[in-house]
Amino acid sequence: MTARILLLTLVAALALPARQLPGPPVTRAAFASVEKNLDRKIVALNVSDPFEMLGTVRGVYLQGYGAVFTTEMSLVVTIVSPFMPDLTPADIQKLHQKKLAKLGPLKQFMRQMLIEAAADLDTVPANEQIVLGVTLFNRSFEIKDGLPGQVVMQAPRQALLDYKAGRIPSSALDAVIRTQEL
């Protein structure tokens, strides 16, 4: 008798229409626009000493959490080819120093991109997060001391909007932006 009740309950449950969750508030087109904007700005950031993009920016919306964008890059364009002699230890040290010097500008750029993405993604709820993660590529011969493998920056969309609108000072925005170096 219990098996029969269980079977009837299962059949009744399967006959009920599946509960549809509402679709995400952000369209793929909105994400594509932000992705292209980020790509374009990364490439144009410093034409005389650019970052080396190793992949385009990709975004995903996590309902209840927010918008997450990721990319991979090298802080410095490094060309290794059969036509170039091996780098000397002094060259490798110079490369390391150059990468260390570009870490600060990368973080400033990421902060600005969070603000712009928050404004562009007007359908992301204000209480959710805007996140930008950059994976930093290093070649095997490079010195990695002091260089993270990844920088992740995030902030509530509302705080980013408040800053952009002049409702909070830069120090208040800095207090809510979380930066992790992994």
pLDDT, mean of residues 15-36? 74
pLDDT digits (tens, 9 = 90+) for 67-86: 999 999 999 988 766 776 67
Report d(CA 61, CA 71) in Å as an integer. 15
Give me the amino acid identity at 82: P
Report d(CA 98, CA 95) in Å as an integer. 5
Contact assessment for residue 156 and residue 176, using Cβ atoms and an 8 Å cutoff: yes
% of the chain with per-residue pLDDT over 70: 85
Q: Whole-model pTM?
A: 0.83
Residue 46: per-residue pLDDT: 80
128: CB partners within 8 A, 6+ apart: 64, 65, 66, 67, 156, 157
Domain boundary assignment for the chain:
22-181
Contact assessment for residue 65 and residue 129, using Cβ atoms and an 8 Å cutoff: yes
Report d(CA 104, CA 45) in Å as an integer. 13
pLDDT, mean of residues 41-51? 85
Which of 11-15, 45-49, 89-93, 101-105 bottoms out in mean pLDDT, i.e. has the lowest?
Answer: 11-15
pLDDT confidence tier of residue 8, bands split at 50, 70 and 90: very low
Kindly give the interhelix angle for 89-120 and 28-44, rounded to the nearest 10 degrees. 140
Give me the amino acid identity at 35: E
pLDDT, mean of residues 161-170? 97
